[in-house]
Structure 1
């Protein structure tokens, strides 16, 4: 599944199981919002003055870990399989 961010505005819908604007489930949208809230609560607790830099560093770290997980999942018996 590919992540499709909300575009905001009049395209977002609350009825049904999925947003008509982005196509994501309302459950996914709520969970993503909770992740964002948790990151911002942490940044506020640490009293970071450079929240943008903190968020970019977290994003880069998460992307790097994701790449490592994908590499580990695609290796069989120590032999890497590229896609």
Structure 2
């Protein structure tokens, strides 16, 4: 399965899947929940360099998906 990001102005909330991006509403909700938690952590830590934090998270996710342990 490939990840498809939301398409602004084309996403829907009817049925089980979004008509814009094709993802399930459950998947979209879980993704939003994860992002909200990471934003809350960055705010709690008062990171000024949030771009570096986001980049680190992205690299960590890719690394763990490529080399699960």
| TM-score bracket relative to the smaller structure | over 0.9
Structure 2's unaligned 5+ residue stretches are none
Shift of the alpha carbon at 1:18?
0.4
> Which structure's relative contact order is higher, taking Cα pairs within 8 Å and 6+ residues apart?
2
Shift of the alpha carbon at 1:50?
1.0
> What does residue 49 of structure 2 align with?
50
Structure richer in strand, relative to its length: 1
Spell out the pairing of 1:27-46 with structure 2 (5 A cutoff). Answer: 27-46=26-45
| SS at structure 1 position matched to 2:64 | helix
Radius of gyration: which is bigger? 1
Question: Equivalents in 1 of 2:11, 2:61: separation in Å?
Answer: 27
> What does residue 21 of structure 1 align with?
20
CA root-mean-square deviation: 1.0
TM-score (norm 2): 0.94
Deviant stretches of 4+, over 3 Å: none
Structure 1's unaligned 5+ residue stretches are 73-83
How many residues in Structure 1 have an aligned counterpart in Structure 2?
69
* 1:25-73 CA-partner distances (Å, limit 9, x unpaired): 000000000000000000000000111110111110111111112xx7x
> What does residue 8 of structure 1 align with?
8
